[in-house]
Structure 1
Amino acid sequence: MVLMYEVEKWLENRIILKVYKGSHAYGTSHANSDVDIGGVCIPPKPYLYGFYSFEQYESKNYTNYPGYKKTGLAADTVIYGLHKFVKLAFNCNPNIIETLFTDRTHVLHCNSLGRMLMDNSHLFLTRRARHSFGGYAFSQLRRLTNKLPMEESKSKISKLTENEKNLQIYAVRLEHKITQYFQKEQLTQDDIQDILNLRSELASVEQRLAAIEEDRAEIERLMRGGNHNHHGSHAGIIEKYGYDVKHAMHLIRLLHMGLEILTEGECRVLRPDNNYLMAIRYGKFTLDQIKQEAGKLFSLLDEAYANSELPDSPDAEKVNQLLIDITEASFADAAWET
């Protein structure tokens, strides 16, 4: 396990792409909108060759972006390691695809390595968009009127925290065992196999820890209404409009984007339909109208999937070579010039 303060020592200097996310990227922001930032980094060689691992960095108090000194508003930020980012992009993960196709006006930083990644973004647009964008949209649909009881939420978080603590202790013990092997003057073949097994187990533990963090973040989002910090709680918005208008906006946005990918082979993050989306956000439509529109769009998404000329999945060989090329290029000092 790698401590975040260690990652923060090198993170900024290893970022290859950093963009605005969320409402600022969609063109649906307003004066009180939160700031969301996403990006990609290539960790130093000890994380590429050694037994240190890095998948992503998360912070709700990120300040290294233009405008912070003016607003004083810290950004909710996720920076992925290149390998995890590409794996998620391979599955047409909406959050990752949006990062790749962010409008250039919302790109905060992109060096030559980031450009290599963005220049090949269309490799990741496939018929998988039906299941990824459609799946995310269905999740938004389910949340339109969902109020998670406070006591139930606290109980779930308590259990997750307890499991997290136990896994963290186990991870430290695994790391200690691995370190002990490297104190030997010479490693036997059995030692090497033991180290590989321990690393595999440690990777599994870290995946479980990441899953716990995602589950906890989702429960906390439901408790407070996601990032509804300036506009009341999740439950409060439902009380006001009869349903969660923010989820409704993202429901329609995701379906529109999925349709555009399948029919046009394009992903427009800066939304041309932003006025319509903002009308949804401010409760101009009834819940029945939203559900009816969503039903039509889901049907169109199925039709688009059946007729799409996109490949079923990315070309694995091309994606793998891209990952190799970017990683190898990162070893040259010139690659880190903007």
Structure 2
Amino acid sequence: MTFESLQQQREYLLLECISGSKAYNLQVPTSDTDIKGVFILPPSELYGMTYTPQVANESNDEVYFEIKRFLELLEKNNPNILELLSTTDRNLLFRHPLMDLIQPGDFLSKLCLDTFAGYAKTQIKKAKGLNKKINQSHGPERKDVFEFCYVVAGGHSVPLREWLHEKQLRHQDCGLAKLDHFRDVYALYHTSQFEPGTFFRGIFSGPEANDVQLSPIPKGVAPLTIMQFNKDGYTVYCKDFAAYWEWVALRNEARYEHNKELGADYDSKHMMHTFRLLTMAEEIALYKEVRVYRHDRDFLLRIRNGAFTYDELLEMATQKLYDMEQLYAASDLPDHPEPALADSLLIRIREEFYVPKK
């Protein structure tokens, strides 16, 4: 089964719904239409050697789960699957009568505290990571080893580049020797201290170097100075530099520009969905139902539109997480769904679909 073949064999569809922002009542003029659904494999594939758990289009805006995979995820209280099963009629495109056998309330459990709140925590972590990246400023060129080297001069530490410029020396004419018992500290020599024809390898090999390099140093000559290479600082910088430009390459440019226009130092859409998930988890504990269509649209869109500071949102989210833990501790929801339920439903749905009653 592929996405394309499913579209051509729609008789194997069990459920098809509009999902995402339009299902949540959180759409804005630029929102796409996401589709999610459930299908059942044709008998020839079910009885064969292959199994297709889900299919999707290239952009992943349309995703369909095979009924077995759907029930597996439902048993784990996966938020996306519970939302799909609880989609309101206004966003329902097709529903096979067999889907009436699967009721969300039969699967809701205290696992939702971990699945909904756990996913929300992931969104907060993403927002924190984005907060860090938005406030970083890395030029397109990576700094070289030079920027992290310092020498001792006049009882003070001086940047190596500055010291070389003042002394009118080239780093290519310098040689380094390790100092015992001193981590990342070196004795620095210059060819001018030795007989003509003495050559050193230089302090580092080039702009892409990740470390300094040593040279064989003739004995009996005192170093010009002592140099320290902040190797740990350089390693951290290189990782941050690489992560920043990877983020730039992969980021959603429209969303980034939206946050930039708002002056928000976090991903406002991530934070909006964080609060949506936290509130939905609270509702499950209080009302034992999954409320996909959001009547708190105004509050959630205020988050998306940057009405709150980053710190305000983190404080509110932390309080919500604490309150939710209290709600689930007091709830009479089961710890997990009935283990045999998904299995019995899968058998019944397959039997009734493949061999309909006369």
1:84 aligns with 2:65: no
* Aligned partner of 1:307 among 301, 305, 330: 330
- Larger Rg computed on CA atoms: 2
Change (3 A) 1:139 1:261: same
The equivalent of 2:303 in structure 1 is 280
1:249 aligns with 2:264: no
Aligned counterparts, 1:46-195, within 5 A:
46-60=44-58, 76-117=61-102, 120-147=103-130
* Matched-pair contact (CA < 8 Å) for 2:12–2:40: yes
Quote how far apart the aligned CAs of 1:234 are. 7.7
Amino acid at match of 1:143: K
CA distance in 1, matches of 2:348, 2:247: 38
TM-score w.r.t. structure 2 length? 0.63
Unaligned ranges ≥5, structure 2: 137-245
Change (3 A) 1:29 1:111: same
TM-score w.r.t. structure 1 length? 0.67
Amino acid at match of 1:105: R
Quote how far apart the aligned CAs of 1:277 are. 0.4
* Aligned partner of 1:266 among 272, 276, 289: 289
The equivalent of 1:212 in structure 2 is none
SS at 1:146's partner residue? helix
Change (3 A) 1:222 1:251: farther
Change (3 A) 1:221 1:305: farther
Deviations 1:62-117 (A, max 9, x none): xxxxxxxxxxxxx8111000000100010100010100111111111112123333
Amino acid at match of 1:89: L
Instruction: Give the share of equivalent positions with the same residue, in percent.
Output: 31
Change (3 A) 1:54 1:309: same
Unaligned ranges ≥5, structure 1: 62-74, 150-219
Q: How many pairs are equivalent? A: 247
1:35 aligns with 2:18: no
Quote how far apart the aligned CAs of 1:46 are. 2.0
The equivalent of 1:186 in structure 2 is none
* Matched-pair contact (CA < 8 Å) for 1:241–1:283: yes
Deviations 1:267-320 (A, max 9, x none): 100012111101111111111110011001000111112111111111122222
CA distance in 2, matches of 1:328, 1:43: 12
Deviations 1:5-32 (A, max 9, x none): 555543x221110111110010000111
CA distance in 1, matches of 2:4, 2:26: 34
CA distance in 1, matches of 2:61, 2:19: 9
Write 1 or 2 for the structure with the bigger share of helix: 1
* Matched-pair contact (CA < 8 Å) for 2:262–2:305: no
Write 1 or 2 for the structure with the bigger share of strand: 2
* Aligned partner of 1:321 among 344, 347, 350: 344
* Matched-pair contact (CA < 8 Å) for 1:234–1:244: no
* Matched-pair contact (CA < 8 Å) for 1:145–1:242: no
Change (3 A) 1:237 1:331: farther
* Matched-pair contact (CA < 8 Å) for 1:23–1:29: yes
* Matched-pair contact (CA < 8 Å) for 2:109–2:333: yes
Aligned counterparts, 1:196-235, within 5 A:
224-225=250-251, 228=252, 231-233=254-256
Amino acid at match of 2:114: H
